[in-house]
Amino acid sequence: MPYIPHTDQERQQMLSAAGANSIEDLFSYIPSELAPSSFDLPPGKSEFEVGLFLKKLSAKNATELIPFVGGGFYDHYIPAAVDAIVSKSEFYTAYTPYQPEISQGTLQAIYEYQTSICRLVDMDVTNASLYDGGTALYEASMMAVRITGRNKIIVSRGVSPIYRVMLASYTKNLHLQLEEIPVNNGVLDRDVMKDALDESTAAVVMQNPNFFGCVEDISDISEMAHGVGALVICSAYPIACALIKTPGEMGADIVTGEGQSLGLPLSFGGPYLGFMATRMKYVRKMPGRIVGATVDTEGRRGYVLTLQTREQHIRRDKATSNICSNESLCALAAQAYMSLLGKEGIRDVASVCNEKANYTMKRLSKIPGVKVKFPAPVFNEFTIDLPRDAGEVIGELIEKGFAAGFPLGRYYKGMEKSMLVAITEKRTKEEIGRLAEALEEVLS
Amino acid sequence: MKTIYEKSVKGRRGVRPPESDVPAEINLPNNLLRKEPAQLPEVSELDVMRHFTKLAGMNFGVDTGFYPLGSCTMKYNPKLGEQVSRYEGFAALHPLLPQLRLGGMLTQGSLQVLYDTGALLSEILGMKEFTMQPMAGAHGELTGIMLIAAYHKDKGNNKSKVIVPDSAHGTNPASASIAGYEVVSVKSDENGAMDLEEFKKTLDDDTAAVMLTSPNTLGLFNTNLPEIVKLAHEKGALMYYDGANLNAILGKVRPGDVGFDVVHVNIHKTFATPHGGGGPGSGPVGVAEKLVPYLPISRVIKRSDGMFALDYDHPKSIGYIAPFYGNFGVILKAYAYMLTLGKEGLVRVSENAVLNANYIMSKLKDYYELPYDRTCMHEFVLSASRQLKNGVRALDIAKALIERGFHPPTVYFPLIVNEAMMIEPTETESKETLDTFIEAMIEIAELVQKEPESLHAAPRNMPVSRLDEVKAVKLQKFSVEKD
């Protein structure tokens, strides 16, 4: 049997040692009435057969389409060394580093990851990871509720609709009030927000760049929120943070985001990486594991999981979160990515994304009937209006070999003719030109 | 060892990113630009590779050696899973593609993986349907409790508490509490099972759910299960099965047959996907028929023409608990594992896991206190209470095992056993490995008699010795200081 080493003879020796006559003896505590009513599974297959079957299944996915779909999840280039590092089995076959003497590899890597995220988003402290950008935003909202003791959360409609529906699902039974604020011309409507903000507000939840791709300075929003004692939560795109004004500089109190763009494959939605960073004064209210530096009995530097009294395995029903397994290996991949690109490299990636997005936006807006929807500046993603239903146009472009964009009408009423287009450093001028030609053809 | 930041050299470059082939035009106004570049390391690709190779050498994984960490099921992670999850057709697939017009047709391969894995789990656990979305065990627990809340609300039941035995994993009470319930703990009886009389007293019309792990965290099967389920259902409470210890009962008991209404499975335990140094995991949730309407959306369905699709039209659903369809890459590895083992293989998994645990237990019970002395399932709990008389604690024994090339058992859990050492060998370990571990444990027990003080200094042969955890709390140093 694969992965089970015992020979029949060994099994017999071990049974005797355990004082049992047969394997069945070992299960005699299970009442016979509980025997399975069915266990109808296929017979096992060889490794070769399973590999081949899955190869064929993978070929049924249309990964050959030239991708211009983003929506918070991007096709960035992943350096070859990232996979070489996460493939080291001392990392990936280890458990949570509860025994620090044999886990310094994981612990130091996560400590370095925490450092990199802090520097990228301009915050004091980062946790060891959460599941994804959406659950990170929910955890940040609950953290703000704990810090302020208030129950209203104001959410910009520029925050990913995928995350907003998650937030609504998680908070449905929790006596919290969610209030959404509209976006005008691609940026948050300040007037509506001012009216919504009051002494019961725990947090204002923003996203920058927002779901439409627009970049805005939210410093004034932070000022307004802090004026009534509310916190600002900003969901950020880590690659963008290398180029644009950081959430920390704009006054955010908690920064969360999806770390997929830092060296993780798209992989149909996961595993991804939720990151969360905050100000030092809030560290004890933060969910999830944190690695801290300390010394050993001989004064040598080392790392441990710290501030564990916030966590479920100590505090049980009074913990700051129920999280146990996180996305540690994905954080390792992100740290490998950030190290390989480095200070200059990550800014180059961000600049190239922005340059190519600007080029694409100009190129597409030359097509008769196509216009850029919002005047606000963008990072790597932008919204265009088409002369007819965007979903239909995208469908027709799939036949021409492009995943051309995302139809905003799916999440925003009245935006049925709008399409969200994402560019990464991987898209070439030639591909962009072909997309423009195909779009022109479809629209003519 | 130096951090990657301390190895940074101003001006040094690593991987060269793709260059721009369009006009170099940044279209952001100055006030929206970052003033100073993020101070990431400046290192070469080889610097990075040497750094992480050295760090990997300071880590211990299942591929390094025996890892009997109780309740964590640290079995071998087959390499086939690593390979298939990297197939371009799976790894490069964008999760928003199915939301495009006819997009389901673009993702048939991955939708089938999700559907088939859910169907296999339904048969293994005896449930009606699974959602593959929860991204870890605790995430599955939260999802499960949200399902239970939605069910009670829909039926007009007003219930405010969840019962959890005192031997439960910490995630159980934490998940129930975060979902908005009051948590009531029930103590264990002299056999290590949830005290039935105490349970009867605690159970009332206000009970929304009872959360149980079976076998429990002592590795014992609760023979009162059928009665507990019957009593709970009579009061209108739902039964929640924590699948953390599923590795003990594959093909032997199905939680659905026992009467559990909601289950979660820790894919990264029973189904052999790697723990990744803490994650990613995957925690699919299965439900009985009456809870199907509340499952999260989207749901993966198989249409009558054999094609797979996503279904969003479920007005009673609890909504969205994940951005997409779960940790797909992890689920794919588990699918490969189930297909490889098949029906017979999965039954053998539990049989050999239980055999290995009983073998070690029988060899060690003369040397260490065994508080619950009966046939165990996939794990068992020893106490270092005898050794404590000589001043040696479970922690010292753990560190002595590290010195001898083993990962220690889970220590100080479950909380109901003093100086607990929870040992779970799993089925993938050979008799020689188990024998070497048994010898080491006996040798340590003898050392406790002769030179107990020597054990306080362990481990002496690691990159670091015991670390000052109190100092870590005091220092509050969570990142490398800026230059």
Q: Is residue B398 part of a domain?
A: yes
Which of B 78-117 lie inside 8 A of A, CB atoms? 78, 80, 82-97, 99-103, 105-110, 112-113
Taking only residues 202 to 261 of chain A, the set having a beta carbon closer than 8 angstroms to any beta carbon of chain B reads 215-217, 241-246, 249, 258
Q: How far apart are CA A179 and CA A99, in angstroms?
A: 44
- Angstrom distance (rounded) from CA A143 to CA B103: 37
A299 at B interface, C-beta within 8 A? no
On chain B, the residues whose CB falls within 8 A of the CB of A172 are 318-319
B278 contacts on A by Cβ (under 8 Å)? 95-97, 106, 128-129, 289, 325-329
Does B407 lie in the same domain as B286? no
Note whether ipTM > 0.85 here: yes
Q: At what angle do helices B328-364 and A47-58 cross, to 10 degrees?
A: 160
Say if A387 falls within a structural domain. Answer: yes
Q: Which of residues 343-382 of B touch A (CB under 8 A)?
A: 343-349, 351-352, 354-356, 358-359, 361-363, 374-375, 377
Nearest to B375 among A10, A26, A39 (CB): A26
Q: Which CATH number does the domain housing residue A378 bear? A: 3.90.1150.10
Burial class from Cβ neighbours inside 10 Å (0-12, 13-18, 19+) for residue B189 reads middle
Residue B375 has pLDDT above 90, yes or no: yes
Return the CATH number at B353: 3.90.1150.10
Å between A368 CA and nearest CA of chain B? 22
Residues B156, B179, single domain; the answer is: yes
Q: Does residue A258 lie within any of the structural domains? A: yes
Q: What is d(CA B342, CA A44) in angstroms, rounded to the nearest whole number?
A: 4
Residue identified by tokens 């870590």 is B472
Size of interface A-B (CB pairs under 8 A): 717
Q: Counting every residue, how long is chain B?
A: 483
Q: What is residue B27's predicted lDDT score, i.e. its pLDDT?
A: 84
The answer to whether residues B281 and B299 belong to one domain is yes
Q: CB contact, 8 Å: B438 with chain A?
A: no
**Domain shared by A315 and A388, yes or no:** no
| Amino acid B102: pLDDT | 84
Q: B327: closest CA among A55, A409, A329, A122?
A: A329
Positions of chain A with pLDDT lower than 70, given as ranges? none
Identify the pLDDT of residue A27.
97
Tell me whether residue B57 is in a domain.
no
Residues of chain B found within 8 Å of residue A389, distances taken between Cβ atoms: none
Phi–psi pair at A360, nearest 5 degrees: -65, -40
Cβ separation of A77 and B18 shorter than 8 Å?
yes
Contact B32 A245 (CB under 8 A): yes
* pLDDT computed for residue A1 by the predictor: 86
A-contacting residues of B 20-49, CB under 8 Å? 20-29, 31-35, 37-43, 45, 48-49
Q: Give a yes or no: residue B305 inside a domain.
A: yes
Q: What is the pLDDT of residues B61-114, one digit of tens each?
A: 999 999 999 999 999 999 999 999 999 999 999 999 999 988 889 999 999 999
Domain that holds residue A423: 66-76+343-443
A59 touches chain B (CB under 8 A): yes
Are B93 and B160 in a shared domain? yes
Same domain? For A110 and A223 the reply is: yes
Q: Which amino acid is at B365?
A: K
Contact assessment for residue A58 and residue A243, using Cβ atoms and an 8 Å cutoff: no
Tell me which residue range forms the domain holding B106. Answer: 82-339
Instruction: Tell me: do B402 and B445 sit in the same domain.
Output: yes
- Looking at beta carbons, which residues of chain B come within 8 Å of A38? 123, 126, 254
Q: How many domains does chain A contain in total?
A: 2
Q: Are residues A138 and A165 in the same domain?
A: yes
**Contact check, Cβ <8 Å, B110/A61:** yes
Nearest CA to B379 out of B408, B349, B353 is that of B353
Task: Please answer yes or no on whether B322 and A59 come within 8 Å at the CB atom.
Answer: no
Say whether both A109 and A238 belong to one domain: yes
Q: Per the domain annotation, does B453 fall within a domain?
A: yes
Query: From the CA of A214, how many Å to the nearest CA of chain B?
Result: 10
Query: Does position B155 have pLDDT exceeding 90, yes or no?
Result: yes
Q: Which of B339, B374, B396 is the last residue of a domain?
A: B339
Interface of B with A in 185-214 (CB under 8 A): none
Residue A78 contacts by C-beta under 8 Å, 6 or more apart in sequence? A263, A264, A265, A337
Taking CB atoms and an 8 Å cutoff, what residues of chain B touch A303? 467
Q: A84 to chain B, minimum CA–CA distance in Å?
A: 8
Nearest to A377 among B28, B274, B463 (CB): B28
The count of structural domains within chain B is 2
- B268 and B380 in a single domain? The answer is no
- CA angle in degrees (0–180, nearest 5) for A435-A440-A442: 95
> What is the model's pLDDT at position A173?
87
Within this chain, do residues A193 and A221 fall inside the same structural domain, yes or no?
yes
Please indicate, yes or no, if residue A237 is contained in any of the structural domains. yes
- Pairing mode, if any, of strands A125-126 and A274-278? antiparallel
Structural domain contains residue B264: yes
Same domain, B182 and B267: yes
Six-digit token string for A310: 């916030």
Q: Based on the domain organization, do B243 and B278 belong to the same domain?
A: yes
Task: Say what the pLDDT of residue B385 is.
Answer: 97
Same domain, A219 and A106: yes
Compute chain B's Rg from CA coordinates.
25
Where residue A100 sits, what CATH number does that domain have? 3.40.640.10
| Tally of CB atoms within 10 A around B435 | 14
On chain A, the residues whose CB falls within 8 A of the CB of B359 are 14, 17-18
Considering the domain architecture, whether residues B272 and B380 belong to the same structural domain is answered as no
B291 & B428 share domain: no
Clarify whether residues A322 and A356 are in a common domain: no
Determine, yes or no, domain membership for A27. no
| Record: contact B62-A93, CB cut-off 8 A | yes
Q: Chain B contacts of A84, Cβ < 8 Å?
A: 49
Q: Which of A424-438, B187-201, B439-453 has the lowest mean pLDDT?
A: B187-201
Q: Which residues of A touch B82 (CB under 8 A)?
A: 87, 92
Is the CB of B61 less than 8 angstroms away from the CB of A116?
Answer: no
Whether residues B374 and B333 share a domain: the answer is no
Is residue A304 domain-shared with residue A426, that is, in the same domain?
A: no
Identify the CATH number of the domain in which residue B144 sits. 3.40.640.10
Residue B483 confidence (pLDDT) above 80? no
Q: Which residues of A touch B349 (CB under 8 A)?
A: 3-4
In a domain, A51, yes or no: no
Instruction: Choose one of A337, A356, A385: the last residue of a domain.
Output: A337
Last residue within a domain, chosen from B339, B372, B388 = B339
Q: What is the mean pLDDT of chain B?
A: 96
Verify that A396 and A265 share a domain, yes or no. no
Other beta carbons within 10 Å of B114: 27
Q: Domain boundary at B339, B373, B388, which?
A: B339
Average pLDDT of the segment spanning B445-471: 96
User: Are A365 and A423 in a shared domain?
Assistant: yes
Instruction: Average the pLDDT over B241-265 and give the result.
Output: 97
Domain closes at, from A286, A315, A337: A337
Question: Which of A296, A322, A337 is at the close of a domain?
Answer: A337
Helix locations, B249-407, DSSP H: 255-258, 267-270, 328-364, 385-388, 394-403
Taking the CA atoms of residue A158, residue B327, residue A258 and residue A168 in that order, the dihedral angle to the nearest 10 degrees is 40
Asked whether residue A152 falls in the same domain as residue A103, the answer is: yes
B214 with B177, same domain: the answer is yes
Q: A247 and A390: one domain?
A: no
Instruction: Give all strands (DSSP E) within B291-341, no chain letters.
Output: 299-302, 308-311
Burial B382-410 (b: 16+ CB within 10 A, else e): bbbbbbbeeebbbbbbbbbbbbbebbbbb
Separation of alpha carbons B299 and B285, rounded Å: 12
Of A1, A306, A403, Cβ closest to residue B97:
A403
Residue B20 placed within a domain: no
| Cβ(A143)–Cβ(A285) below 8 Å | yes
Selecting from B34, B76, B361 the residue whose C-beta is nearest the C-beta of A246 gives B34
Q: What is the DSSP string of A253-272?
A: SEEEEE-TTTT---GGG-S-
Confidence bin at B192 (pLDDT 50/70/90)? confident
